[in-house]
Amino acid sequence: MRCINRLLLRTSCSNPRNMCTITSIKLNYMIETCIQDNNIQHARKLFDGNPSSRNLVSWNMMMTAYVKNHQIEYARSLFDQMPLRDTVSWNIMLSGFRKTTNFDGSYHCFLQMGRAGVAPDDHTISTLIRAVIGTELDVLVPQVHAQALHLALNLSVFVGSSLIRAYASLRQEEAFKRVFYDILMKDVTSWNSLVSGYMELGSIDDAQTTFDMMPQRNIISWTTLVNGYIRNKKINKARSVFNKMIERNVVSWTVMISGYVQNNRFMDALKLFLLMFKSGTRPNHFTFSSVLDACAGCSTLLTGMQVHVCVIKSGIPEDVISLTSLVDMYAKCGDTDAAFRVFKSIPNKNLVSWNSIIGGYARHGLATRALEEFDRMKKAGVTPDEVTFVNVLSACVHAGLVEEGEKHFTSMLTKHGIQAEMEHYTCMVDLYGRAGQFDEAVKLIKNLPFEPDLVLWGALLAACGLHSNLELGEYAAERIRKLESNHPVSYSILSKIQGEKGIWTSVNELRDMMKERQVKKQKAMSKLFL
């Protein structure tokens, strides 16, 4: 910055707003240097102070800086003021909209670009395709593909790779195979996209064959294959491929660790993290997040605390992802006070952060604190989602707050437009059942918009066991056995109710049925029905 300041003194008339002698080349150089020093405000002063020296490069550099720093509104304001725009200018705005997941913005920006008579390039098409993948606008992919064909941009590696991913998302295998064959100069990126596309469709053999045929591979190729096996629930095969990797980076280690966590193999995730540490690969915040999820999954508080120390020593800036993982870990391991301390330290709490602390309190029966945090969340302007209401209703279940639960259940749709799902109905059945309000529970089940699942019937049966409701308990047990004939809970709870009622003949008959069907008796009730 000292060099820039000296340059400013030599070239300015009196202050940065009067730099009449600065040429476009000098201005662009000075703006670029300020941006590299992450001093956007100074760059903007230079830009504003030299209107006569601005050119397309100046405008585009300032817009790019704002987009990279998630300040899309400032970038849009500059874009609207531009006297002349080129393809790069439009591409910057498209990238900005994609980065902020503004899919409608990406689409309308592309339309306006066409109306302005500016021809798209391969970067334009690629950015638009990646912006609409997995959204309701993905129906536009064939149309964008058609335009790419018209402009001969389909031959580009960038466009082709993006189209392969898009058609894989649309589950159109023939389409993405044609795209691959159309790419003029296939490189490792296009081959990687093809492997990923096959894996997304579950065509594991085709993915492996494609990988074996690749003229060259890089670390991304190997990681793509590992990730593909993980997505297809082939975790052991993923580890086998991972073990064959000659070179691994933080991404490949994190993918494998995360894969174990996704498959509930938490101890394997922790063991692999230890190997990663010994290998000298430095974890990033995504790695730590997955490892903390593993600690939470197997409730190893001591290990979780050690990982917390590693996070601090690593020098990685604490962000909302790693801090939220810490909240979740401490809460699931039973240390709600530590969870709350970490939660309070999060400067910009997001929805996941709030859900973690509310769910943590609900899980440990601290209903009052869970509901208090829910109120604070709404006051902070954070909109709840389906997970939030599962946590809130669970808190009401543990505290027996029937009226409170009914209020929140109703407000889901009326105030927030959230349709109740199976988990929400299960919470309400559990709430009514534990309170002995079986008429309300049965009424709710009869009005379900879908067929009740095993967990919901289990919640009703557990409530029947709590209140010795034999008639309804027999019905719930029958429904459970229809879904899973040898489920031990349906037998054990029904046997308990019959014993409490003194119907020992039925108890003996039930035990004979269990022996005949080789149903193993449970020593403790499944968490599924608690």
Residues 6+ apart with CB under 8 A from 219: 245, 247, 248, 249, 251, 252
| C-alpha span between 334 and 135 (Å, rounded) | 38
pLDDT score, position 486: 54
List of domains in the chain? 1-84 (no CATH), 248-348 (1.25.40.10), 421-530 (1.25.40)
Contact present, 200 and 168 (Cβ < 8 Å): yes
Residues of the chain with pLDDT under 50: 1-21, 491, 498-530
pLDDT score, position 507: 36
| C-alpha span between 221 and 17 (Å, rounded) | 51
Question: Rounded to a whole number, what is the distance in angstroms from the first to the last CA of the chain?
Answer: 62
| C-alpha span between 393 and 400 (Å, rounded) | 10
This prediction has a pTM of: 0.77
pLDDT score, position 407: 96
For 324-354, the pLDDT digits (tens) are 999 999 999 999 999 999 999 998 899 999 9
